[in-house]
Structure 1
Amino acid sequence: MTTRPAKDLLVTHLPPAAFQGVVPAIIATSDAEGTPNATYLSQVFLIDDRHVALSCQFFNKTKRNVLENPHACVFLHDPLTFETFRLYVKYLRAETTGPLFDRMSARIEAIASHTGMSGIFKLLSADVYEVTSIEAIEDFLEPAPAEPPTDEPIRHRNELASLQLVSVRASRATDLEGLLSGVLQALHEGFGFEHSMVLLLDESSERLTAIASHGYGDAGVGAEVRVGEGLIGTVARERCVLRVMGVGQELRYGRAIRATVHRQAGPRALRPEIPLPGLVDAQSQMAMPLIVGDRLIGVIAVESRSLVAFDAWHEAYLDIVGNQVAVAIDNMMDRDRETEVEPAPSSDDAPVVSSTTPSMEEPAGRVLRFRFYEGDDCVFAGDDYLIRNIPGRILWRLLRAYESTGRTDFSNRELRLDPTLGLPAIRDNLESRLVLLRKRLAQKCPDVKLVSTGRGLFRLELGCKIVLEDG
């Protein structure tokens, strides 16, 4: 193994993948007496040509050493080319607030919440170092085969064409479901994002619910994430983009710390682990907040089983897509509210109805039992969980109306006027809740359908007999 001084090499010249943490970096320090210490780093954050920030979490010995002797050495590894670099650095300061600290802290918090380590596995400071020199370590590993050079102008033309594809799909959509499915399909076709989802915020419950997904089959729609939990929840809370490579390695590191805390403080000191909402074996994740003005609409997330699937340019392009999708969702919901059909007049003591369309004939065939658990606010179909919260209340209202009066035609307007559903007075997201309900029914109860009959109007269609029970 030999070293080659890189006299004119700047930090920004190093491979971007080396800063993703797929292969953990190592920092070597020594105290005032020259006693050495080496440990792994959770993050090496690129600041500019001559500066990096290192995450300080549990490094008591490392921090004591650099306060006595500010000179240290950091080893970085590129997981794609197997190149290794030695950075000679000098400790300058510790930042505990501000944009740099917030960006580094959000990444750690996302991993910590997945492993039930929120509040324990956290960033204490973002330690800023000056990079005084860089060495390339040769023959550290057998080099990877050289890739053929890429034609950058052609690549950028393809990326612009992909953005155009997303824009066309978004502008031509006629409803919310078509908008989201079209955009996610375009992300796959144009950018190669095989697994993606859009989660919209329910402000009343502080939860994000996946109402559209691509690449997950039936498993994607309906996934829920609390604001502040995991990568997606952290993106929603902090309203910033996050890109994490080597997710499996990060989770293993978090679980190792969790095991140590469990041995020392017992299980009561720990929170439950939070399962990943998409791929259980995801290795790369990226998520972007959907924001209109100062309002959070939701989150768009993509993931992959590849270790280093997303680069900085993916982040920039997804940011553009996210801004367009957020505005499109908001505009479509406003348009749907403005063009809804007014319900038919009704007396004060009669329920609001949308029309006098005759009810359909009693369906023949199998019987499906629905059970509503009011305490848990959820609906079961047979023995299987179906849906909960406001979409569950909507379904139960429709089924009760059919059971008692035979009604099958309903309107969005009457749902908004029903106080028992608990819809927020402003920004009720009714359209997204109905999209979620339709998709969950298609997955779990294909004999029960909500079919659109016009803007703001829909019909309940049953292909089986139903029995309703209170849980």
Structure 2
Amino acid sequence: MKRTCGPPNRCFQGVVPALIATCAKDGTPNVTYLSQVFSVDERHVALSCQFFNKTKQNVLENPFACVRIYDPFTFECYRLELKYLRAELDGPLFDTMALRIQAIASHTGMTGVFKLLSADVYEVLSCEKQEGFIDVPDVVESDDPGGPRTELRGLQLVSQQVCRAPDLETLLSTVLESLEVALGFEHSMFLMPDETGEKLFAVASRGYGDEGIGAEIAIGEGLIGTVAKQRQLLRISGVENDLRYGRAIRSSVEQAGGRRSLKPEIPLAGLSDAQSHMALPLVVGDRLVGVLAVESKNRLSFDEWDETFLEIVANQVAFGLDNVLLRERAKEDPTPAAPPKPAEPAGAAPRAESATGPTRRFKFFRHDDCVFVDDEYLIRNVPGRILWKLLRAHVDTGRTEFSNRELRLDPWLGLPALRDNLESRLVLLRKRLELKCPEIKLPSTARGHFRVEPACKIELEEAG
């Protein structure tokens, strides 16, 4: 909700570090930077406490404090006179503030080391703008990025795409397109859990070129992985500041001899220079069906409006995605795919080698289910096993027709018995082939049926 008085909401996004001044019982002052100032309501704020430091010791002895926060658009300064009330160790406020710190800690390899100890709640005794702090231009960008007509039009478009999508691939791609065209979200991706439930893989993306599809993130690691694990929305502005702070803490831990407790830093899944991130879990009932992630190079791209709006979109997409998967599986034709054609006479070359075009060499590594094409990584895990099954059958027997049902019944593929997300694996496989080996296509031919269409000669090799 937009604040009716005091600093605008953007002052609480952490883009410009805040300052806090406290005083010990004996009158000794202490001034330091704050990693997070959270607006609870008009009369209360919460400050993050990661360490039992001098600030926390002072307010326990003398509950009064002064905080300065800054408007990242105008650089106007606001002075908050505060009184310490309590420390919350759990509950909704604690969980919301902890999620941001958990994500940064995970990204910088400090899970369990850098964490929120308490959400310290303060009463706002007074709030005043520091006049004369800086000259402000007459026209200042508003908190509100658009009017209600724009919002409703965008929501209508997304809702329409979700309801009308005939299949999973269409649903994901058209929703991301609508988010960009109607609402300006230029960099976005959908990720879905794999068959183990331990990783997410990017099945659709927009604004990342060829690099977005197939990216893998362990659940619980990094910004997106933390959202998937906690199933909570996360919005971070000024990511560079948070990461710099996290890395500074990491450096201190290393210098103190705590290197063994640290893990490697997790690379960002999308833009390497992104300044704003927002990730939303897609949940149906108690099941995580995916994550919607958006990001921007602008430090102030996302605010409370984007958070509320995208949460509505995420709920619609989660429900629509789940329905599409159930619908596609229910409408599958139980008729088996066409049987393989008769084998060639002894001594004849494999039927697949009669194809024209260049020769593409595929290599399957059994130890990690990874497939390379012409010595370049193509795909792995279940989609890799699916591709290898199709190519092997095609090369050995000349077969081109296959069905979703036979894939589900093949124990070698390792699909779970319930909610196997086979459709998402096929979407990912088709996109990876389009990027890395466009000579091989897997078009749908009927309900639950598809065809292998090679425009190249195929050579297969397996390795341990």
- Specify the alignment match of 1:191 in structure 2: 183
Distance 1:27 1:53 in 2: 12
Distance 1:93 1:382 in 2: 62
1:51–1:150: structure 2 CA closer, same or farther, 3 Å change rule? closer
Name the SS of the counterpart of 2:416 in structure 1.
coil
- Specify the alignment match of 2:348 in structure 1: none
- Specify the alignment match of 2:164 in structure 1: 172
Distance 1:277 1:286 in 2: 12
Name the SS of the counterpart of 1:414 in structure 2.
helix
Q: Using structure 1 for the length normalisation, give the TM-score.
A: 0.92
Q: Tell which deviates more after alignment, 142-151 or 164-173.
A: 142-151
Distance 2:26 2:435 in 1: 67
Give the counterpart letter for 1:459 in structure 2. Answer: R
2:303 to 297, 303, 311: 311
Name the SS of the counterpart of 2:136 in structure 1.
coil
Aligned identity (percent) is 62
Name the SS of the counterpart of 1:277 in structure 2.
coil
Post-superposition Cα deviations, 1:342-370, rounded to whole Å, max 9, x if no partner, equal 243xxxxxxxx544578777213322211
- Specify the alignment match of 1:468 in structure 2: 460
Distance 1:149 1:193 in 2: 18
Deviation at 1:295, TM superposition (A): 1.1
Deviation at 1:417, TM superposition (A): 0.5
Q: Using structure 2 for the length normalisation, give the TM-score.
A: 0.94
1:42 to 35, 41, 52: 35
1:88 to 81, 88, 106: 81
Give the counterpart letter for 2:116 in structure 1. Answer: L
Deviation at 1:145, TM superposition (A): 4.7
- For 1:360-371, list aligned pairs within 5 A: 362-371=354-363
- Specify the alignment match of 2:20 in structure 1: 27
User: Are positions 1:121 and 2:117 aligned together?
Assistant: no
Post-superposition Cα deviations, 1:259-286, rounded to whole Å, max 9, x if no partner, equal 1112212532310110111111000011
Task: Check whether the contact 2:205–2:212 (CA below 8 A) recurs between aligned residues.
Answer: yes
- Specify the alignment match of 1:3 in structure 2: none
1:205–1:374: structure 2 CA closer, same or farther, 3 Å change rule? farther
Distance 2:119 2:291 in 1: 26
Post-superposition Cα deviations, 1:148-203, rounded to whole Å, max 9, x if no partner, equal 77999x81111101100111122221111111110001001111100011111125
Name the SS of the counterpart of 2:460 in structure 1.
strand
- Specify the alignment match of 1:56 in structure 2: 49
- Specify the alignment match of 2:202 in structure 1: 210
User: Are positions 1:112 and 2:105 aligned together?
Assistant: yes
Distance 1:410 1:139 in 2: 73
User: Are positions 1:134 and 2:127 aligned together?
Assistant: yes
Task: Check whether the contact 2:86–2:121 (CA below 8 A) recurs between aligned residues.
Answer: yes
Structure 1 runs not aligned, ≥5 long? 1-9, 345-352
Give the counterpart letter for 1:390 in structure 2. Answer: V
- Specify the alignment match of 1:349 in structure 2: none
- Specify the alignment match of 2:347 in structure 1: none
2:91 to 81, 89, 98: 98
Distance 1:264 1:35 in 2: 28
Deviation at 1:139, TM superposition (A): 2.3
Distance 2:135 2:210 in 1: 43
User: Are positions 1:451 and 2:450 aligned together?
Assistant: no
Name the SS of the counterpart of 2:278 in structure 1.
strand
Name the SS of the counterpart of 1:119 in structure 2.
coil
Distance 2:420 2:308 in 1: 30
1:148–1:267: structure 2 CA closer, same or farther, 3 Å change rule? closer
Name the SS of the counterpart of 2:443 in structure 1.
strand
Distance 1:357 1:42 in 2: 67
User: Are positions 1:247 and 2:247 aligned together?
Assistant: no
User: Are positions 1:409 and 2:401 aligned together?
Assistant: yes
Task: Check whether the contact 2:6–2:128 (CA below 8 A) recurs between aligned residues.
Answer: no
1:360–1:25: structure 2 CA closer, same or farther, 3 Å change rule? same
Deviation at 1:379, TM superposition (A): 1.1
Distance 2:144 2:289 in 1: 37
- Specify the alignment match of 1:263 in structure 2: 255
User: Are positions 1:237 and 2:229 aligned together?
Assistant: yes
Distance 1:119 1:279 in 2: 26
Task: Check whether the contact 1:196–1:215 (CA below 8 A) recurs between aligned residues.
Answer: yes
Give the counterpart letter for 1:184 in structure 2. Answer: L
Distance 1:354 1:414 in 2: 11
Name the SS of the counterpart of 1:45 in structure 2.
strand
Distance 1:124 1:150 in 2: 32
Task: Check whether the contact 2:378–2:432 (CA below 8 A) recurs between aligned residues.
Answer: yes
Give the counterpart letter for 1:182 in structure 2. Answer: T
1:150–1:396: structure 2 CA closer, same or farther, 3 Å change rule? closer
Distance 1:203 1:142 in 2: 57
Task: Check whether the contact 1:284–1:308 (CA below 8 A) recurs between aligned residues.
Answer: yes
Give the counterpart letter for 1:437 in structure 2. Answer: L
Post-superposition Cα deviations, 1:84-105, rounded to whole Å, max 9, x if no partner, equal 1111111111111111111100
Deviation at 1:235, TM superposition (A): 1.2
- Specify the alignment match of 1:76 in structure 2: 69
- For 1:343-422, list aligned pairs within 5 A: 343-344=335-336, 354-355=338-339, 362-422=354-414
Equivalent pairs counted in the alignment come to: 453
User: Are positions 1:336 and 2:365 aligned together?
Assistant: no
Distance 1:62 1:423 in 2: 53
Give the counterpart letter for 2:107 in structure 1. Answer: H
Distance 1:40 1:453 in 2: 61
Distance 2:184 2:229 in 1: 27
2:214 to 222, 239, 258: 222
- Specify the alignment match of 1:181 in structure 2: 173
Post-superposition Cα deviations, 1:29-67, rounded to whole Å, max 9, x if no partner, equal 111001011111111111111111100013511111111
Name the SS of the counterpart of 1:265 in structure 2.
coil
Distance 1:436 1:248 in 2: 31
User: Are positions 1:302 and 2:294 aligned together?
Assistant: yes
Distance 2:233 2:151 in 1: 20
1:285 to 259, 277, 281: 277
1:203–1:413: structure 2 CA closer, same or farther, 3 Å change rule? closer
